[in-house]
Amino acid sequence: MAQSIAPAAVADAPAIAPISLKAVAPWALFVGMLMLVLLYFVGAEQGATALLSGEQVHEWVHDGRHLLGFPCH
């Protein structure tokens, strides 16, 4: 019968410290707000709620609109 030999546990292995929610929350809020702004510019800018005049924003995000399923013309 074959026996498997597991490697011995290393007693001096460093422990990974857990990351607290207080440390992650500001970064999660920042990334969430950044994603909402990006979603606005890709999905709604140059439409009825345009903040910027001209067609520059539309041309920069045109392919992203089609990729994400937003109609633009």
pLDDT digits (tens, 9 = 90+) for 11-68: 677 888 888 999 999 999 999 999 999 888 887 777 677 777 877 877 888 888 888 8
Dig out the tokens for 19 from the structure. Answer: 């990351």
pTM as predicted: 0.60
Question: What torsion, rounded to 10 degrees, do the Cα atoms 45, 50, 54, 58 define?
Answer: 10
| Residue 70 burial (10 A CB sphere; 0-12, 13-18, 19+) | middle
Q: What are the pLDDT digits (tens) for 44-54?
A: 777 677 777 87
**Residues with Cβ < 8 Å from 52, sequence gap 6 or more?**
45, 46
